[in-house]
Every structure is written in C-alpha cells, then in structure tokens.
Amino acid sequence: MYGAVKNRMTHEISTRFKRELSSFYVLVLLNLVFGALAMAFGIQSIIASVLGLTGGQTTPGFRMVTGVFSMVCFGLGIGWVLSSAKILKGITGIRRAFRHRTATATDETVTLGIVRMVAHYRENKKTIRTMILVCTLGGFCFLALGVMNSMEFFSGGISSGRFVLNSYLLIPSALLTLAIAFVSLLSSYYFLKFSRTWDLRQQETTRSEDILKKTLGIDKE
C-alpha cells in the first residue's frame, strides 16, 4: 500500500518536474531566437540610420536618435543571446535524462534532476537576474524604436489633422520591432515568475540542509 502511494507521488513529482523543465526550456529557446532577431534588427536599424544620414535627409537629428537606439538594441541583443545560451546549455543537459523516458522515473532519477536544477539555478541566478533586466530594457528600447519607425511611415500635420502613409515597406519592419518589444517584456515577466519560484525553493533547501545537519549530525566543519 505504502509502495503504491509512494510510486504515485514519485510519478506526480516527476510529471511536474518534467513539465516545469519543458516550460523553462521553451522560454529560454524563445529568448535565444528573439535575442538573435534583436541583434539582426539592431544592425539593420543602424545601417538604415547611417544611410539616412548620408542620404541628406531632412531630419538628421531624428536619424541620429534612431541610430543610438539601434546600437543600444544591438548591444542588448548580444547580451540577450549570450545569457540565453548559457542557461540553455545547463537546461539541455538536465532535460536529456528525462526527455525520452516513457516509464515513470525512479525516485533517484527525479531527485537527481531536482538536485541538478537547484544547482543550475544557484549558478545562474545572476544571469537570470540579468536576463530580467536585459529583457525589460530591451523591451522598452524596441518599443521606442518601433514607435520611431511607425512615425517614419506616417507623416502628417497636426494642424491639418491628416496623416499620410509614406511607404508600405516600412510596416513589416515597425511591426517586427513592436513584436520583439512585446516578446521581450513578456520574457522578463516569465523570468521573474521563474526566479520567484526558485528563490522559494532555494530558501526551502537551505532550511532542509539545517534539518539534515541537525538530525543526522552531518556537519563538515
């Protein structure tokens, strides 16, 4: 009877762990893709701004602001990709042990996975905090860039109250920028959620270690 209950518990915990691991894996993978897109888009915007400056446009000040924003976005994109790749590397290793498993994992396999994940979080806590910051900053920078790009394809007069669409070609570019901004802010929210969950777990492991130390007399010092 106890064995059956224990097996069901292990199965439930294993399922929960696998689900959580997959969710985090998808989030980090999505970040890697959007980080790469942010980098590419940052470069594209820098070039567009520079070409605009040399092309003798009437609004060089506006172009320069866009160029600076593009550079910031490019830098944040690099940070975004590097952080995502670092986290992804660890997650892939932990996930490998569970991915192709069809039968219920043993107590030891599940606990080993949890130990690895706890260690992974402990090691990458700072990187995850950076990700939250980079995603939030990136989100707002891309939002600003998206708004600037949108302003470029609309021209009009406040006094006349008329807006004219300059070029249909600029619409996808502005939409892509806004999409990156949206994903970036959404990622920041999910990383924060993940971080809160794992901070709680880390506090719990510290408490558990105190209990282990006291009850079993295990103290390395």
Partner 1 sequence: MNSRRTPYEIYWEILVYCKSPRSFTTIINRCDLNSKTGQEYIEFLSSKGYLSFTKDGGRSSYVATERAHEYVVLFTEMYQKLFDTIPGFRL
**SS3 state at 165:** strand
Q: In angstroms, rounded to a whole number, what is the distance separating the alpha carbons of residues 68 and 89?
A: 32
**Contact call for residue 7 and partner 1 (CB under 8 A):** no
> At its nearest, how many Å lie between partner 1 and the CB of residue 21?
10
Q: Which stretch binds partner 1 (CB under 8 A): 43-51, 77-85, 145-153, 199-207?
A: 199-207
**Contact call for residue 97 and partner 1 (CB under 8 A):** no
In this chain, which of 9, 47, 51, 165 binds partner 1, going by CB under 8 A? 9
Q: Give the largest CA-CA distance in the chain.
A: 82
Of 130, 47, 33, 35, nearest to 73 by C-alpha is: 35
Handedness of CA 61, 66, 72, 75 (dihedral sign): negative
CA atoms within 13 A on the CB side of 16: 8
In this chain, which of 115, 164, 171, 175 binds partner 1, going by CB under 8 A? 115
Q: In angstroms, rounded to a whole number, what is the distance separating the alpha carbons of residues 117 and 127?
A: 15
> At its nearest, how many Å lie between partner 1 and the CB of residue 30?
9
In this chain, which of 7, 23, 57, 155 binds partner 1, going by CB under 8 A? 23
Find all residues with CB under 8 Å of 41, minimum gap 6, and list them.
Answer: 73, 77, 142, 176, 177, 180
Residue type, 180: I
In this chain, which of 57, 99, 123, 154 binds partner 1, going by CB under 8 A? 123
Q: Which stretch binds partner 1 (CB under 8 A): 63-71, 106-114, 154-162, 168-176?
A: 106-114
Positions in 72-91 near partner 1 (CB under 8 A): 90
Of 128, 135, 121, 84, nearest to 200 by C-alpha is: 121
**Contact call for residue 144 and partner 1 (CB under 8 A):** no
Applying CB under 8 A, which residues contact partner 1? 9-10, 12-13, 16-17, 19-20, 23-24, 26-27, 90, 93, 107-108, 110-112, 114-116, 118-120, 122-123, 190, 193-194, 197-198, 200-201, 204-205, 208-209, 211-213, 215-218, 220
